[in-house]
Amino acid sequence: MAKVCCDFRFLLLVAAGVFIYIQMRLFATQSEYADRLAAAIETENHCTTQSRSLIDQISLQQGRIVALEEERKRRDQECGQMKSLIQDLERKGVQRLIDKIQVPVAAVVVMACNRADYLERTIKSVLKYQRPISSRYPLFISQDGSNPDVKSKALSYDQLSYMQHLDSEPIQTERPGELIAYYKIARHYKWALDQLFYRHNFSRVIILEDDMEIAPDFFDYFEAAAALLDKDKSIMAVSSWNDNGQKHFVHDPYELYRSDFFPGLGWMLAKSTWDELSPKWPKAYWDDWFRLKENHKGRQFIRPEVCRTYNFGKHGSSLGQFFEQYLEPIKLNDVQVDWKSMDLSYLLEAKYAMYFANNVKTAKPVFGADMVLKASNIDGDVRIKYKDQSDFESIASQFGIFQEWKDGVPRTAYKGVVVFRYQSTKRIFLVGPESLKLLQIEDS
């Protein structure tokens, strides 16, 4: 019995040892598991931190993308607004900024001296139609002398450039009793045209005087005529004036003519022609000199039927010569002709003689005395032949047109033919002794 008890205690000790060993192993395993769990948790926490950092970075990038997209949208909106603004400005006249770089059609110069009141009237008339197209027709005032009122008036306008011509030496007339004014005018013209062609380098110049008003289509007329001047070297200059342009002698504002007689009074000249004329420019009476055959050398001039300038200068160097009879009744065109749409090729030298001859040919010939009465009783155009200058002057005086000749050419004549309206629309052709032959028309 004692031995059995002893064996039982021994078994209890073994069992206790085993239990302790199992507990220790269990504790060691739990510790290892706890360490592994802690490491796993730490790893998980690290991964979580990295994930959160990555998420944060992704969120930041997404925020930046959104911000960039919003910036792009804002810029697109601003660009759209800018484009709309530019289109709006273009509609409102921004094209005028582009016009500034366009090559001018011609410089416009008003020749002035000592009539400030006349000059102001002329400037206002020119600016009325020049202001919207000023870049194509730069305006100059050229004053001869030092009249303070004229200078002050010219300088009071910001829309023009002022030039002043002062004589560097006294003027001597060539013949006793001559007016010195005609010498001063010729010298002034040469100086002003030299300035505009050679100093300012314009290709064309339109010359006005300080006692002129212009028509609404003045600049459109000269722009159309500039193409003719460039293309046809047989055209020496283009004028806006018709010496027989009185109200009762004109009708058609669309009709233009070639003439062997220089009209002046608002005219356009090309630089190539001035290159020829400047070295031999006369000391006086420049306009009569211009009309000499030796100077125009068979070249001709373009003129309108209805004047595009009106001369109101009753008081001047010519002392009002012919003013009441010939200048005051002039008809200034008041029709806005669309010259850009007009075909003016009939005025070219190769075509014009035939064009004009057909008009003369269809006119009914009238002979004998009482030309005015006979012409009045005929329907349609009339053709009247004159024998010489004296005969022309007699017939012209009956109708009331200009009788004057210069170097064998009547005013306004083309190949000796002077044409004017009579009784509204009827045309009268005064035909010279050689005119029909020059126009290749059989004499009936």
User: 331-372: per-residue pLDDT in tens?
Assistant: 999 999 999 999 999 999 999 999 999 999 999 999 988 889
Q: Which residues, at least 6 apart from 69, have a Cβ–Cβ distance to it below 8 Å?
A: none
Give the global pTM: 0.76
Return the half-sphere exposure (C-beta side, CA atoms, 13 A cut-off) of residue 225: 30
Say whether pLDDT at 411 is over 60: yes
CATH superfamily of 107-347: Spore Coat Polysaccharide Biosynthesis Protein SpsA; Chain A (3.90.550.10)
Task: Using the structure block, give the residue that is written with the tokens 């630089």.
Answer: 271
Strand partners for 39: none
User: Which pLDDT belongs to residue 3?
Assistant: 45
How far is residue 292's CA from residue 290's CA, in Å, rounded to a whole number? 6
DSSP state of 368: S
Tell me which of 287, 288, 343, 388 is the catalytic residue.
287
Cα–chain center distance at 29: 105
User: Which pLDDT belongs to residue 92?
Assistant: 47
User: Which pLDDT belongs to residue 23?
Assistant: 58
Average pLDDT in the chain: 86
Domain layout of the chain by residue ranges: 107-347, 355-438
User: Which pLDDT belongs to residue 247?
Assistant: 96
Beta pairing class for 212-214 and 309-311? antiparallel
Pick the CATH number of 355-438 from 3.40.50.720, 3.90.45.10, 1.10.10.10, 3.10.180.20: 3.10.180.20
Q: Considering only residues 422 and 1, tell me which one the structure prediction assigns the higher pLDDT.
A: 422
Beta pairing class for 300-304 and 364-366? unpaired
C-alpha closest to that of 133 among 204, 203, 211, 218: 218
Contact 435/417 with Cβ under 8 angstroms? yes
User: Which pLDDT belongs to residue 4?
Assistant: 40
For 134-148, 167-181, 287-301, which range has the lowest pLDDT when averaged over its residues? 167-181
What the block records as the tokens of 150 is: 């004229």
Say whether pLDDT at 312 is over 60: yes
How far is residue 34's CA from residue 29's CA, in Å, rounded to a whole number? 8
Dihedral (Cα; 185, 188, 189, 190), 10-degree rounding? 130
Active site residue 194: no
DSSP state of 270: E
Mean pLDDT of the region 233-257: 97
DSSP 295-347: HHTT-EEEEESSBSEEE---SSTTTTTTIIIIITTBPBP-S---GGG---GGG
